[in-house]
Amino acid sequence: MMDLWFFEKKATAKGFKAIAGIDEAGRGPLAGPVVSAAVILPLTFSVSEVTDSKKLSAKKRARLYEGIYTQAVSVGIGIVDALEIDRINILQASLLAMSIATRNLDPQPDCLLIDGPFQISSHLSQKPIAKGDALSVSIAAASIVAKVTRDRLMERYHEYYPQFGFYQHKGYPTRAHKAAIREYGYCPIHRRTFRGVKEYL
């Protein structure tokens, strides 16, 4: 069985003291921001069941989110909205959100474990890890925080644009969401460069 602390232990053995896991949520939706989280966990972190947020139910994510916030040394959030996503593209927006999340950590880390193949704009030592949310407890924790944070934002947006049903699909390209775009057009939080939206501009 994979040791979810493997990468954290490896970084600690190299002399790093504060290791942050970083992940994002919201690359695929047609609407809403991309949200990143950076999380520094203590070595005493005791919340079990932390894994890739996509493998968890919404109820379990919410419970783990509370446990992560309670025990984490530091949590940073980075949010990049739909206008900026359209301006710089979703990959660059995701990396920017990760950089913002990292800068929002207090205390600051000295080593970053990043989900995916790309480094971010930072002077800190960093290690990109493909499928890191399933391999590193810190990245998994960040994936949960990012997902819950974004979902709650989309539920809030639903209050402003109820015709799109954001509370249900969170902006992802479901059949119901695409039908709503066909009927009502787009709203200010839709990503206008994404297929499924740009056809209706």
Task: Return the pLDDT at 53.
Answer: 87
> Which class does domain 6-160 fall in?
alpha beta
Token representation of residue 64: 């783990």
Domain spans, the chain = 6-160
- 1 pLDDT band (50/70/90 cuts)? low
The mean pLDDT of 139-157, rounded to a whole number, is 98
Residues 6+ apart with CB under 8 A from 168: 174, 176
Mean pLDDT, to the nearest integer, of 21-32?
98
20 contacts 187 by C-beta, under 8 angstroms: no
CA nearest 191: which of 99, 47, 89?
Answer: 89
